[in-house]
A and B are shown apart, each in its own frame.
Chain A
Amino acid sequence: MWIAFSATFKRQLITMRRAYPWSFFIGHILDGVYITIFAYLSYHFIFQGQLNTQFVSYTGTSDYLSYVIMGGVFNSFAVSLLMIVSRMLINEMREGTLEALLLTPSSRLGYFLGAAIQGLMRSGIEWLAIICVGLFFGLNLVAAHLALLLPIMIVLCFALFAQALVLGGFMLAFRDTYITQNTLFVIMTLVSGVSFPPQFLPDWIQGLSLIMPLYYGLELMRSVMTHAAPSSDILYHLLSLSTLGILYFAIGLLFMKRMEKSVLEKHFG
């Protein structure tokens, strides 16, 4: 597993330096920045800081700007990580290297982990850039729970990595990246509490937030990065996120294996 991991990591690093489509990189940063500016203009220029009382009761804070900017920051991070991992195999297929990859006895998990860890470097830069812009537009960070930040980040990355495996399986099944990934992203942005608490949505749509790692990730990150006192639900959300991650991981590995077989049969005859 280690050899596949380090080889993929190195290859992805070279690709990033030499041939990465930087439009993705700038696009992810801009997506987060636009959510931030939209929230800032809406809050100050249209609504003059007047919030709905339900917003405060659902979120436990009256700091709307921090709520939405955190949403924009982690939405971009999630989209970026999901895209990096899920598009790996279909890109190999498009570039004509999938057959060679499938013929090697290398560990598939090591391959995906190598791509994910290298991808985290890029997503991390995007994440930092959006946070820096957010600080100018009213993001208030607290440094009271830094010790909690690392374990939460690790669990969130694992859950997103696992979700990306399932997404990648769908991409191979549909032979498509653009529509498959963006359909997930528009639904994820709607139900995960990016720019408003999901409790505002009708119950039947709200239920979808429970299968989105981003929803739990946002609840946890807001709790430790922007609230002075962490929410009592922190353990519940952390457990839910871990369980969801393990579930996606199991489904993703099985689905991916099945799709690889199907691609071999259909694509390479």
Chain B
Amino acid sequence: MMKMLTICQAEMRKSHRHNFNNRLIYFSMFLWPIIQFINAYYAFKPFNLGQNSPLSRFVPVNKLGLFLITGCIAYIFFWSLVQSAWMMGYERQQGTLELILLTPASRTLIMFSRAAANLIEAVWMFSIFAILTIFFMGGLHIAHWWLLPFAVMVLLLSAVVWGGFLNTIFLFSRDAGFLYTLFEAPMEFFSGVRMPIMAFPIWAKVIAFVFPLTFVLTILRAIVMDGKTLGSICIPLIELAIILIALTAASFILVRYAEKHAKETGNLTFF
């Protein structure tokens, strides 16, 4: 645990020095998510949002704002990690990946610490905006107050595991931008960030369940919008736990394989 904290602290300092030397970073951390949230909200305006709206079969129309802001906040947590994993390509290009792997630190711990460090840096601004918006909009319905920090912990943990897994995948990549394209948009689209997945046809539902974000959103919305208790969300919690364990195990195996592969081919410093 102490080792993880040390690596986490080092990664956080590195990422802060690397990213925050340019104030433009605040645009990507704050302005983009807000504009994307406004865009998602207005994209529903062309439809019938009256009292007899077909949307109310899945989400009460008066809770559409809350539905979208919970989707956006969870998405930002996951998206910032896709972005941080994408930066893994730069470690390779700049020659620092080899140096990192020469240190005695555990490789898998580095992957997860890197994700955790980048997460906190990337999401705090939009999180404040989202919390203020939620209080301003109202409509929260929570069974027990302690379920709220529990939901945040589930979100944080899932995002870190997902981020660690992506960091590992990106260790193999020579064109990380391509993987970024493949991971980013489908995750937003199919995980139910902007649309209730219950409305999807079967093929889209199958894709939805590939992403842990889908389960996180189901749990988050059940807690903050539907006032569900812990007992009534245990099935999606167990499903999420299985996925997270599988992703962690896959990360452990892949990171060793990636290092072995890199040693054989000598491509750690080559793009």
Q: Which of B28, B32, B49, B181 is within 8 Å of A23, CB to CB?
A: B181
Within 8 A of B (CB), among A34-51: 34, 37-38, 41-43, 45-48, 50-51
Complex interface: stretch among A83-91, A130-138, A194-202: A194-202
**Taking the nearest CB of chain A, how far is it from the CB of B196, in angstroms?**
7
Within 8 A of A (CB), among B120-178: 175, 177-178
Give the interface residue-count category, chain A: 35 or more
The CA of A43 and the CA of B201, in the complex, are separated in Å by 13
Question: Is the beta-carbon distance between A187 and B35 smaller than 8 angstroms?
Answer: yes
Question: Is the beta-carbon distance between A47 and B181 smaller than 8 angstroms?
Answer: no
Known A-B contacts A41-B199, A48-B54; the reply to A179 vs B42 at CB < 8 A is no
Contacts between the two chains (Cβ within 8 Å), count = 110
Complex interface: stretch among B7-15, B19-27, B108-116: B19-27
Known A-B contacts A23-B177, A51-B48, A179-B24; the reply to A34 vs B185 at CB < 8 A is yes
Q: Which residues from chain A contact B24 at a C-beta distance below 8 Å?
A: 174, 176, 179-180
Q: List 24 A-B contacts (CB under 8 A).
A: A23-B177, A24-B177, A26-B181, A27-B177, A31-B185, A34-B186, A38-B43, A38-B195, A41-B199, A41-B200, A42-B47, A45-B199, A46-B54, A46-B199, A52-B48, A174-B22, A179-B22, A182-B28, A183-B31, A186-B32, A190-B39, A190-B42, A196-B43, A205-B38
Give residues in B with beta carbon < 8 Å to A: 22, 24-25, 27-28, 31-32, 35-36, 38-39, 42-49, 53-55, 58, 175, 177-178, 180-181, 185-186, 189, 194-196, 199-201, 204
- 3 nearest CB pairs, A to B: A23-B178, A23-B177, A50-B48
Give residues in A with beta carbon < 8 Å to B: 21-24, 26-27, 30-31, 34, 37-38, 41-43, 45-48, 50-52, 54-55, 64, 67, 174, 176, 178-180, 182-183, 186-187, 189-190, 195-197, 200-201, 205
